[in-house]
Copies of this chain bind each other. A is one copy, B any other.
Amino acid sequence: MMYAAIMGYGTIGSGVAEILEKSRERIACGAGHEIKLKYVLDLRDFPDSPVADRIVHDFKVIEEDEQVKMVVETMGGVDPAYPFVKACLNAGKHVITSNKALVAAHGTELLQIARDRHVNFFFEASVGGGIPIIRTLYRCLTGEKILEITGILNGTTNFILTKMDREGAAFDRVLREAQELGYAERNPEADVEGHDTCRKIAILTALATGKEVHYEDINTEGITRITDTDFRYAKMMGTSVKLLGISRIQGGKVYARVAPVMIDKEHPLYSVCGVYNGILVKSDMLGTSMYYGSGAGKLPTASAVVADMIEAAQNADANVSFGWKAEQQAIADRGEWESRYFVRIAGDAKDHAEQVKAAFGEVRTFVLEGADEYAFLTAKMSEERFQKAAIAFDGERQKNGEEGIRQIIHAELEED
């Protein structure tokens, strides 16, 4: 028998309690012990819930109960999750969290405390919801040198972009729909501005490099400026636009960013639609692999928490070696990032042909029936080179009193 506590009885916390009850035997079989829920910490009472008799309001009860060997943190946010988790680890308890903000901000320190105290700090549910990506990295790709991780890591934005793609609808309308359906928060900023994806790709990059990654170093763009017009071009081009967290480890440097990216049907992440998440990993021996599943939702995310609880129970007396050390991983300058670019410009493609070629080199041009604009796709180039070209080109346009570039989207497409 192993006693556990849950801190935070929200969607995920209640899901964990539900699975612990429903799958009790299977979990006991996998863990080698029955895992028994002793406390649920929450400010609220839940008199009608199955855990009513286990609700406590005082963290000290959990911290000081030596019977509790395993604590699940599903409160979210950094405060008080951070001091609570730290105190649990210091008290020699395993901690499992679904909290990406906590892991991205304090993972290095919490992993070190876990190592020092011979317990485990697991956070599978913090990235990709139910997709077992973190365990795959440290259990399955252990001998691999990771070269790239690219992920659709946020279900809300993927739901929005999928709907924009399929229905040709505008961002604002689809966002409202997503909010009504409960797929987007009333304050959607963390999702649509890419902050959530940024924390997740920071965690994956830290695991891939074994070093600390400051998520603030990762250049992050959201999807708020993606329009239905972009998707009209995408349809014509056989592509779609996805919000990707990308991390590339090349020549001793780490390149990372979060941005909406145009990809085509050949890309393994193209068919990751709706609220699903998908994570593509390139590594030196295995090559390309991809992991797909529910990126959010009560039971899928809680399932990942429970998988961590089972692994903690299996390793009750030992720290499982993974995660990253304190050394900091620098993120390469964004100007060095290489990509193709999808660019939309007011006016007539034929009139600009020479100027476009002079500024951007050879491009592929696309014209939308009946639109007052056109688009082109550049060859692969560094962001620095592209930005210089764009500024020069826009300068020319403005001198002539013409409208400048309307849209720029990164494109991960094979060269024509």
Interface residues of A (CB under 8 A from B): 19, 22-23, 26-27, 30-32, 124, 130-132, 135-136, 139-145, 265, 268, 270-271, 283-294, 297, 299-300, 302-304, 306-307, 310-311, 321
A23-B285, A136-B136, A285-B302 are known contacts. Are A142 and B268 too (CB-CB below 8 A)? no
The winner among A132, A143, A265, A268 for most chain B CB atoms within 10 A is: A143
Chain A interface secondary structure, helix, strand, loop or mixed?
mixed
Q: Which of chain B's residues have a CB closer than 8 A to the CB of A321?
A: 32
Does B285 contact A19, Cβ atoms closer than 8 Å? yes
Does B136 contact A132, Cβ atoms closer than 8 Å? yes
Selected contact of A310 from candidates B26, B130, B143, B303, CB within 8 Å: B143
Does B284 contact A288, Cβ atoms closer than 8 Å? no
Q: Which of chain B's residues have a CB closer than 8 A to the CB of A145?
A: 23, 26
Q: Which of chain B's residues have a CB closer than 8 A to the CB of A143?
A: 19, 23, 26-27, 30, 303, 306-307, 310
Does A288 contact B299, Cβ atoms closer than 8 Å? no
Q: Which of chain B's residues have a CB closer than 8 A to the CB of A304?
A: 286
A288 to B294, CA, bound (A): 7
A141-B132, A143-B23 are known contacts. Are A268 and B286 too (CB-CB below 8 A)? no
Can you list 14 A-B pairs with a CB-CB distance of less than 8 A?
A: A23-B143, A26-B143, A27-B142, A30-B143, A130-B285, A130-B289, A135-B140, A139-B307, A268-B292, A285-B302, A287-B293, A287-B294, A288-B294, A291-B292
Q: Which of chain B's residues have a CB closer than 8 A to the CB of A306?
A: 143, 285
Does B292 contact A290, Cβ atoms closer than 8 Å? yes
Does A300 contact B271, Cβ atoms closer than 8 Å? no
- Min C-beta distance of A15 to chain B, whole Å: 8
Q: Which of chain B's residues have a CB closer than 8 A to the CB of A290?
A: 290-293
A271-B270, A287-B300, A300-B287 are known contacts. Are A30 and B142 too (CB-CB below 8 A)? yes
Does A299 contact B270, Cβ atoms closer than 8 Å? no
Does B311 contact A139, Cβ atoms closer than 8 Å? yes
Does B307 contact A140, Cβ atoms closer than 8 Å? yes
Selected contact of A271 from candidates B271, B302, B303, B307, CB within 8 Å: B271
Does A136 contact B142, Cβ atoms closer than 8 Å? no
The winner among A142, A283, A294, A304 for most chain B CB atoms within 10 A is: A142
